[in-house]
Chains A and B, each alone.
Chain A
Amino acid sequence: MPRFVSARTDSRLIVLPWPVPLEDWPTDNLVALPRGISRHVVRFVRVGSDIYAVKEVLEHLALHEYRLLRDLTRLDVPSVEPVGVVTERFDPDGVPLDPVLVTKHLQFSLPYRSLFHRGVRRDTVNRLVDAMVVLLARLHLIGFLWGDVSLSNTLFRRDAGSFAAYLVDAETGELHDELTTGQREHDLQIARTNLFGEFCDLEAGGLLDAALDPQTLVETIENRYRELWAELTEVEEFDGSEMHRIESRVRRLNALGFDVAELDIVTDFGGSTIRIQPKVVDAGHHSRRLLRLTGLDTEENQARRLLNDLDYFRARTDQQNADEAVVAHQWLTQRFEPVITTIPDDLRGKLEPAELYHEILEHRWFMSEAAGREVDIVKAAEDYVATVLRTLPDEAVAVTDNESMELANPFDPSQGFVDDDWEKPYDPWEDGVEETPDDAPVRGDFLDIEALRRKARG
């Protein structure tokens, strides 16, 4: 009987076919979602209306990753939510099977493979790259060494025209109090290699626009990371007459979406030179403010967009001096909610509410431009539903497949496309090697000292 290690198990998971290797799971449980490549067997399973990602992996790695993902969730880093680890799996003949790590599927998320495709706009690619860079910097700020930075281990969510990146795989991660420059460089080195490989793979599969060059993309990521890291952490030194530079540093960080919780300010004896260095910066400046004011939990850029609309509403209703929380409540009930209720139930799965609101604001701007006057937002919402939303793919669970060729296994993109040329080539290393049966004991933990002595004697 398998064993569940979990803080809060979904009881419907218990009846899944755990005694069967994941590779052979009946397809009626599975969902063919697009995803990155993995060296482990990974599947998505539907349980009721929820979707979980399940990954077969060695026990120490499964438990390590489960705990790390819990830590990351607690530290408020965008990452997938761990559900539990299933251990003590045996097939009907009593042969042990690898444990399984279960995580929640991130709703409205899009893997890179469904975002990079022929004709993808350069602008979109830049935004994806930026999201990845922000994620890496955020992880490094809290002392997380990823160890396997890659697009396959990242998921993206739409964020008011940009993207927010989430960590999906923490198997090789380490959580430290603080990272050294060397540790960050280690992650960057891995990022360069992995991302270059992934871009080349997209290129080889005909999935990368010809205008995009893997080398340039990788360099961009590295440069942007270094710029962001410098802004987040570097010492700035200036003359005592330029005190405004303290304020502008904080503003620049806010604009990047970070709050400065602690700023180290050192002046020399005469007060003529000032050195400042941000010590504690937290991501989510705008999304925290929006959450506090309205209870809406959104991505950073969505929050920025909604807060702008809130400011506009405030000016429009002539309430500049009113209490911000009161105005926010009015905005929520008079603007945001009426717009969202115009969306028919069957179209709710197309986009998240905050993203929908952002799209409708955009739509209204175009309508107003065309009409030469301001169009009412609820009217704009109705028009958006009728003309745009119906035609969009459903993204709550993105089953979009824009790959032109058929996958060899719809549940496992790591196996590539269907092609017929597979005939096993000659492998001298496996020639004549008898396959040991799976249940033959392997004494990997036994030190055969006699064999070592024979080897030493030559």
Chain B
Amino acid sequence: MAAVSFVDATRVYPGADHPSVDKLSLEIGDGEFMVLVGPSGCGKSTSLRMLAGLEEVNSGAIHIGDRDVTDLPPKDRDIAMVFQNYALYPHMTVGDNMGFALKMANVPKAERQQRVMEAAKLLGLEDFLNRKPKALSGGQRQRVAMGRAIVRQPQVFLMDEPLSNLDAKLRVSTRTQIGALQARLGVTTVYVTHDQVEAMTMGDRVAVMRDGLLQQVDTPLALYDHPENLFVAGFIGSPAMNLIPGEAAEGGIKVGDYVVPVERERLARAGDKELTLGVRPENLDVTDGEGIGIDVAVVEELGADAYLYGTLAGLSEDERITAAQYVARISSRRPPSRGERVRLTADPEHLHIFNTKTGARID
């Protein structure tokens, strides 16, 4: 087991006009589960492949433990890459399906069997070792695939979208299992996904990337409660944070005909008039008094709660089609109906403010 660090690691593809990964500096602790997340093309997979030794590092360095591995070939890095594609071989036993890569690496038979047995115990597959894989359930197949990586006993696990070809049900159960296993094994893991829910539920910490640049790295809750910029604010959370454009005004930020109260000092730190107000759906509430005017488009009831979707009040029918839609989680005891105009207030404790031009957070 070992810590991993990226030190200003940069990858520029030949012919590209900007780096795919731009001066990535990231410390991953020994035994930590780090998730790299971001939209397609953000550099997360490239970063993982740089760590695996599959992509050249044009400048900067990568360390595993106290070794500088920047120029080491993949096989000398002591890592195991878990791919999304896996096949179970029908004529081989479950044990052989787990251990065949060790055979390829010329690990002696006795040791191979011992490592496979240990992995099988960990995965609850002991009784399956001498069976053929044909009648395994989807979840059991996933565990065999994990077993293949575990038996290699690497310093670091690398996982590149391992769940992307599973259906929704299996994806949810497998992510719980991977999380639990990693915690038990304590092997440093770097996991890449485009799915922020997956990232938030699995990672000890999550690194959010965009256009080759690291945006923020933090625990899931810190990312959720304290996004450093507009991109992270909009990317993390489902349903997403409401990002409402406004203007600095006396006593707060003006949205439509209402001024959302903000402390004077905080406004002063903004240094700009154009600001964006960020409020999570659960921090908005319907009020009988003053508030942001919203025309209700849809109300979706989910048990004790309801999600209210709507646009800023006073827009024409045509404008509403393209206007930003805002979401509030409200109590479903007395939900408003479609077409109604409501007023929403934001919980001042959970108000996020961003500079609209730079995207930077203002505290």
Measured CB to CB, the residues of A under 8 A from B are 37-39, 57-58, 61, 98, 147-148, 150, 152, 171-172, 177-178, 180-183, 185-186, 189-190, 192-194, 196-198, 200-202, 204-205, 207, 214-215, 218, 408, 413-417, 419, 421-422, 424-430, 436, 438, 442, 444-449, 452-453, 456
With a CB–CB cut-off of 8 A, which chain B residues contact A171? 85, 165
Contact A189 B200 (CB under 8 A): no
Contact A204 B92 (CB under 8 A): yes
A197 to B83, CA, bound (A): 14
A424's nearest neighbour on chain B, judged by CB, is: B135
With a CB–CB cut-off of 8 A, which chain B residues contact A152? 87
Q: Which of B86, B87, B197, B219 contacts A444 (CB 8 A)?
A: B197
Q: Give 6 pairs: A residue, B residue, CB < 8 Å, sorted on A.
A: A57-B165, A198-B87, A205-B91, A419-B132, A429-B143, A429-B177
A445 with B89, Cβ < 8 A, contacts A200-B96, A416-B132 known: no
Q: Which of B74, B86, B282 contacts A185 (CB 8 A)?
A: B74
Contact B165 A181 (CB under 8 A): no
Considering only residues 183-205 of chain B, those with a C-beta below 8 Å from chain A are 196-197, 200-201
Q: How far is the CB of B328 from chain A (nearest CB, A)?
A: 15
Q: How far is the CB of B294 from chain A (nearest CB, A)?
A: 22
Contact A429 B124 (CB under 8 A): yes
Tell me, yes or no, whether B108 is within 8 Å of chain A by CB: no
Contact B221 A453 (CB under 8 A): yes
Contact B103 A200 (CB under 8 A): yes
Tell me, yes or no, whether B324 is within 8 Å of chain A by CB: no
Q: Which of A200, A202, A427 has the most CB of B within 10 A?
A: A427
Q: How far is the CB of B175 from chain A (nearest CB, A)?
A: 9
Q: Which of B165, B168, B201 contacts A452 (CB 8 A)?
A: B201
Chain A residues touching B, majority SS: loop
A207 to B91, CA, bound (A): 10
Q: How far is the CB of B278 from chain A (nearest CB, A)?
A: 15
Contact A416 B87 (CB under 8 A): no
A38 to B88, CA, bound (A): 8
A236 to B304, CA, bound (A): 73
B46's nearest neighbour on chain A, judged by CB, is: A182
Q: Which of B49, B84, B172 contacts A172 (CB 8 A)?
A: B84
Chain B residues with a Cβ closer than 8 Å to the other chain, count:
62
Measured CB to CB, the residues of B under 8 A from A are 13-15, 49-50, 52-56, 74, 81, 83-93, 96, 100-101, 103-104, 123-125, 127-128, 131-135, 137, 139-141, 143, 164-165, 167-169, 171-172, 177, 196-197, 200-201, 219-221, 224, 237-238, 282
A426 to B127, CA, bound (A): 6
With a CB–CB cut-off of 8 A, which chain B residues contact A148? 83, 85
A424 to B49, CA, bound (A): 39
With a CB–CB cut-off of 8 A, which chain B residues contact A61? 164-165
Contact B167 A456 (CB under 8 A): no
With a CB–CB cut-off of 8 A, which chain B residues contact A57? 165
A194 to B88, CA, bound (A): 10
With a CB–CB cut-off of 8 A, which chain B residues contact A196? 100-101, 103-104
Add 6 more A-B contacts to A417-B132, A429-B177, A447-B197 (CB < 8 A). A58-B165, A189-B81, A200-B100, A201-B89, A445-B238, A447-B201
A201 with B103, Cβ < 8 A, contacts A178-B15, A427-B128 known: no
Contact A427 B100 (CB under 8 A): no
With a CB–CB cut-off of 8 A, which chain A residues contact B197? 444-447
Q: How far is the CB of B46 from chain A (nearest CB, A)?
A: 9
Q: Which of A37, A180, A415, A417 contacts B14 (CB 8 A)?
A: A180
Contact A204 B168 (CB under 8 A): no
A147's nearest neighbour on chain B, judged by CB, is: B85
Contact A215 B104 (CB under 8 A): yes
Q: Which of B54, B103, B124, B132 contacts A189 (CB 8 A)?
A: B54
Q: Which of B81, B83, B140, B171 has the most CB of A within 10 A?
A: B83
With a CB–CB cut-off of 8 A, which chain A residues contact B221? 452-453, 456
